[in-house]
Amino acid sequence: MQGAPISRRFPAALAAAGLVATLTACSPAPEAGDTGTPGTFSVWDPYPQFDAGSAWAKVIDECGAEAGVKIERQAYDTTDLTTKVLLAAQQRTAPQVLVLDNPVVSTLAEAGVLKANQDVGLDASQASPNLVSAGVQGGQGYGVPIGANTLALYYNKAVLTAAGVDPASVKDWASLDAALVKVKAAGKKGITFSAIGTEEGTFQFLPWFWGAGANLTELSSVDAVSALSLWKSWLDTGHAPNSVVNNTQTTSWQEFATGEYAFAENGTWQLQNAKKAGFEYGVIPIPGRNGAAAPAPAGGEFVTVTAQDNRDTEAKAGRIAACLTGPDKVMATDTALTYVSAVPSVQQQQVAAQPELAVWVEAVKGAKSRTGDDLGTRYPRISQPLWGAVQAALSGSKTPEAALADAQAAAASAK
C-alpha cells in the first residue's frame, strides 16, 4: 500500500475505523491546500483538557523552536480526532504531526495517512517493545509511543482490613473470590468495573480474558468462556453491581469513591482522584486465573508523522516528533498526562520521584497491545463482538458460552 494516493485508501480506512456514519456530524474540512498559517507546522492531539499554558503545550512550543518553526496546535476528543484527520488527509490538509490513540495507528497507516518511521528519521528503539508493537503495520513502524497507561486493581484499605483480607494474598482468581466473600460477609461491597458496550468494556475485560490464557483470534475458547463466567458469577453472587453493564470507567470509579467497595478495576488516570477520595487506598496487579499478574491492555498515544507533498516537510515533522518523544522531554510530558513513560530509563526516574508508581510501571511492562499479534486493523472487528458478548452474558440474555460463540462467528465474518 506504500506510495498509493491517500484518496484511494480513504473509504476503506473510514470503514475500518467505523466512522462512515459520523461524517455528517463533523465540522467542514479546510479548503484543499489550506494547511494553516504560512510558515507554521500543525500538531493535532487528543488532549483538549490541556490549554496553552500546560506543560504539554510548552513542550510542543519548545520542539517547534528547536526545529525552527512555529507550531499551531489543535486539540480534539479522541473520536473526533480520528474522524477529522481522515477527512483532512483526503483533502491533503492533514497536520504534519499527529498524536493519536495507539489502536488507531494501524488503521491510519494502512490508509496511507502516516509515514513509516524509516522514511522520516523517527526512531522508536528507546521505547519498550511491548508498547512499540501497537505502531507496527505491514512490518514497518509508525510513530513512537509518548507514554502509556493500563489497568490494575485499586483497593480500599479500610474495607479490606475490616473484612480480614490482606491485599497481598490476592494472587489469582480463587484468592480474589475468597476475598470478595469475606468483604460481603463484613457488610461491604466487592468489586466494580466497566462492562459498557463500547471499547471501554473490551478494554476492561481484556486482563481477565488474557489472564485466562485466551486469544483474540479465538473468542469462543474454553479459556475465554472461563473469563466471562467469572464476571457473570460476580453479578450472580452480588460481588459486583448490576450497574457494571452500563458503567464507564468514570462511573465505576465514582462507585469506588463512595468508600463502600473493596476493589475497583481502573487506570493510572485515576491516581489524582484516588488521592482525593478521603480514604486510604492501595493498588495491586490484576491477577491471572492461576497466578501471576494478568497482561493488561496498553493504553496511550503515539506521536506520528503524516504523509505530505514535500519530503523536507516530512523530515522536519520527523524531527519535531522525535523531540516530543525524547527522554529529555517526556518526563515532564508524562507527568502532565498522568502516563507511565514508554522509555524504561524515564520510568525509573518516575518511580524515584513517585514511589506509588512502581506497581503501574510493572503493569505497563507486562501490558499487551490490543492490535498486536498481527491483528492490526482487524482488532475493531473483534473488539465490537467481544463487548457485545460481555453485555449479553452479564445481562443474562445469553450464556457465556453462547455469547462468545456468536461473537466468534461475527468476528470471523466481518469484512
**How high is the pLDDT of residue 24?**
24
Give the orientation angle of helix 222-237 with respect to helix 173-185, to 10 degrees: 10
Question: Are 339 and 363 in contact, with CB atoms under 8 Å apart?
Answer: no
Residue 370 lies in a domain: no
pLDDT in the model for residue 6: 32
CA distance 297 to 206: 7
What's the pLDDT score for residue 328? 86
**In a domain? residue 366:** no
Q: Do residue 285 and residue 239 come from a single domain?
A: yes
Give me the pLDDT at residue 33, please. 32
How far apart (Å, rounded) are the C-alpha atoms in residues 363 and 176?
A: 18
Whether residue 261 is contained in a domain is answered as yes
Together in a domain, 143 and 158: no
Q: What is the pLDDT of residues 359-393, one digit of tens each?
A: 999 999 999 999 987 788 899 999 999 999 999 99
| Grid cell at residue 173 | 482468581
The pLDDT, as a whole number, for residue 365 is: 94
Q: Could you identify the residue written with the cell 469462543?
A: 220
Per DSSP, the three-state class of 261 is strand
Residue 100 lies in a domain: yes
The amino acid at 288: G
What is the rounded CA–CA span in Å between residue 135 and residue 103? Answer: 8
Q: Looking at the structure, tell me whether residues 307 and 208 fall in a common domain.
A: no
Could you count the other beta carbons within 10 Å of the beta carbon of residue 199?
Answer: 21
| pLDDT score recorded for residue 374 | 78
With a cut of 70, list the residues of the chain below it in pLDDT: 1-38, 415
Based on the structure, what is the number of domains in the chain?
2
Q: Are residues 70 and 179 in the same domain?
A: no
The reply to whether 129 falls in a domain is yes
Judge whether 369 lies within some domain.
no
Is the C-alpha dihedral spanning 224, 220, 400, 415 positive or negative?
positive
pLDDT at 105: 94
Whether residue 391 sits in one domain with residue 245: yes
Q: Using CA atoms, how far apart are residues 277 and 1, in angstroms rounded to an integer? A: 50
Residue 415's pLDDT is 64
CB–CB of 307/113 below 8 Å? yes
Q: Look up the CATH number of the domain holding residue 323.
A: 3.40.190.10
User: Does residue 89 fall inside a structural domain?
Assistant: yes
pLDDT score, position 37: 53
The confidence score (pLDDT) of residue 284 equals 97
Q: Are 166 and 88 found together in one domain?
A: no
- Residue 307's SS3 state is coil
* Same-domain check for residues 254 and 323: no
Residues 252 and 278 both lie in one domain: yes
pLDDT of residue 144: 97
Strand 136-137 versus strand 140-141 pairing type: antiparallel
E strand segments, 280-344? 281-284, 301-305
100 and 32, same domain (yes or no): yes
- Domain containing 329 equals 6-148+299-354
Same domain assignment for residues 407 and 330: no
Total-model pTM: 0.84
Assess if residue 39 is contained within a domain. yes
In this structure, the answer to whether residues 206 and 125 fall within a common structural domain is: no
Report the first-to-last Cα separation within the chain, whole angstroms. Answer: 18
Considering the domain architecture, whether residues 13 and 116 belong to the same structural domain is answered as: yes
